[in-house]
Structure 1
Amino acid sequence: METLRVSATSRPNAIAGAIAALLRSQGSVDIQAIGPAAVNQTVKALAIARGYLVNDGLDLCAQPAFVKLDVQNEERTALNFHVLARPLGSA
């Protein structure tokens, strides 16, 4: 499974395109974000990606969880979004 890393300066439209492409081809993707600005960009990208998937009859489901990452020999807490594709209209 592919893991996307989002930063505070990531462009939501670009991230959304990557999310939609991975959901179409693989059915799932993990997204990692450290810090409130990166989480904000991630949430915006998820909302945009939903719009990209409508014509394919797909929706997405995001499951957030905290994870510990080693960044430059320092332990950091990140938010990990496990995102799954599902048929549009399923509950």
Structure 2
Amino acid sequence: MIHHFGGIIIHPSSVIGAHCVLRHGVTIGARDKSGPPTLGDNVVVGAYAQLLGSIHIGDGARIGAMAVVLHDVPTGATVVGNPARIITPRSRS
């Protein structure tokens, strides 16, 4: 699913799993001479996030808005920031 289409760039060799969500301004591309990213199933990518290089985004991962992802993201992880880092969800009381 592509929400609010506009400015989305996807490398032609990228692999995107089933039921992924891409928000506006997302770039999924190669870095230097590396290959493009591979996204697992059920990945959510926030607005203007940049996924660059031959990286793997695990199933169910969440990429925060404007994150710059240059390394693999484990299954179910949430990453934010530039460069992207894994965050631990707050417990709900």
| Structure with greater Cα Rg | 1
The structure with higher relative contact order (CA 8 Å, sep 6+) is 1
Greater helix share, structure number: 1
Q: Considering the TM-score relative to the shorter chain, is it more than 0.5? A: no
- TM-score scaled by structure 1? 0.23
Output the TM-score relative to the length of structure 2.
0.23
